[in-house]
Amino acid sequence: MAHSIIDIFSKVTAPSFIGRAGGESFLLILLLFFTSCYNSPQHIILENPEATSTDSSAMQLSRPYGVGYNLLVHADSLLLVEDRPMHWSEGVTESSDSQWVRQKERIVIAALTVIPEDSIDSVWVKVARDQFTMGWLHETDLLEGTSPDDPISLFIRFFSNSHVLWFLIVMSAVAAIVLLRVMRRQRFRAILFDDIPSVYPTLLTSTLALSALLYAFIQHYHPQMWVQFYYHPTLNPFSQPMLLCLFLCTVWALFLLMLTVVDDVLKLLSPVEALLYLFSLLGVCMVLYLMISLFPILLAATLCIAYILFALYRYLKYARALYLCGRCHRKLQHKGVCPYCGAINE
């Protein structure tokens, strides 16, 4: 029986419990540093690609990829059957006339066909590494062992890996332990506890929570939209449907807020205090992401709204700068001795 492209894709990139909502949205901002200097990969082009059948043309309409689409192999190897598969249900074996493509090799889709009697997977795909290495394999094997040959798609696949989730959980625990030990020895500024007089850290964490929620909502209610974006990614939000447009806008906002936060923290704190503050901010971001990603969608939405309201309340009541120093013009939360230049403000 034929496999749904969404079901197949979910095994490769989508999380099993709503998804690592926001992990990609938070970490995707790092990709923006490299897009301007990225050189497009050398795509493979067949001189005489195999003509597709009517079934193949229909399948291309229902799939985000088709003939001529380039993929990068992630599996250790993929076994290709040289002869066109007939109406049989046997699996691919090394005893067949076959060839191998290896990890990190680039391949291109040459044709698609359907074998209804195949009990493993009715869809077969012909791929080619070059003019001399080409063959057929099941679509499920192809999708599980490859990803689109695009930097954004590779980034999404990497951070959809369950090992990354566990790594972030461990890092969050380590960050919490380190911060608690440091707080026992000395007082330092930390978001939500003793925040700096800047609204940008609050905006950063609130935007991250919103971005995580949008990602979870897209994967839960519109998985086909995310599949389409995975195979045809872009950082231009205005060329996408409304939900994806909002998600990509939050990604750009995270990037801009991250730069602003670092600049503000370095201005307001000493280098050591700034490092500790940014470390606490990173820890809060990871914990916030993990909680939203692991909770069901309705509970995640409630958590997101509650955090945003709480963060804004904490900033307005305790962290907002109401005064400026008369000498150095730095932001002050209260009157008295300026902690930056020592001037007395009354």
Same domain, 73 and 178: no
Residue of 93, 101, 96 whose CA lies nearest to 146 = 101
CB neighbours of residue 100 within 10 Å: 14
Same domain, 89 and 121: yes
pLDDT attached to residue 334? 62
pLDDT attached to residue 105? 95
Tell me if 103 sits within 8 A of 74, measured CB to CB.
yes
pLDDT attached to residue 39? 38
Same domain, 120 and 251: no
Q: How many domains in the chain?
A: 2
Is the residue at 15 inside a domain?
no
Which has more pLDDT, 105 or 41? 105
Is the residue at 257 inside a domain?
yes
pLDDT attached to residue 30? 46
Same domain, 51 and 117: yes
Q: Retrieve residue 318's tokens.
A: 């305790």
| Residue 89 φ then ψ, to 5° | -120, 10
SS3 337: strand
Average pLDDT, the chain: 77
SS3 345: strand
Tell me if 136 sits within 8 A of 81, measured CB to CB.
yes
Boundary (domain end) residue, out of 148, 175, 190: 148
Tell me if 254 sits within 8 A of 207, measured CB to CB.
yes
Residues 185-243 pLDDT 10s: 666 777 877 788 889 999 999 999 999 999 989 988 999 999 999 999 999 999 999 99
| Residue 147 φ then ψ, to 5° | -145, 160
Boundary (domain end) residue, out of 148, 163, 190: 148
Is the residue at 205 inside a domain?
yes
Residues 19-29 pLDDT 10s: 444 445 545 54
Structural domain for 76, as ranges: 43-148
Tell me if 243 sits within 8 A of 224, measured CB to CB.
no
Which has more pLDDT, 298 or 36? 298
Secondary element (H or E) of residue 73: strand 70-73
Secondary element (H or E) of residue 156: helix 151-159
Same domain, 191 and 58: no
pLDDT attached to residue 88? 53
For residue 43, what pLDDT band results from cuts at 50, 70 and 90? Answer: very low
Residues 187-203 pLDDT 10s: 677 787 778 888 999 99
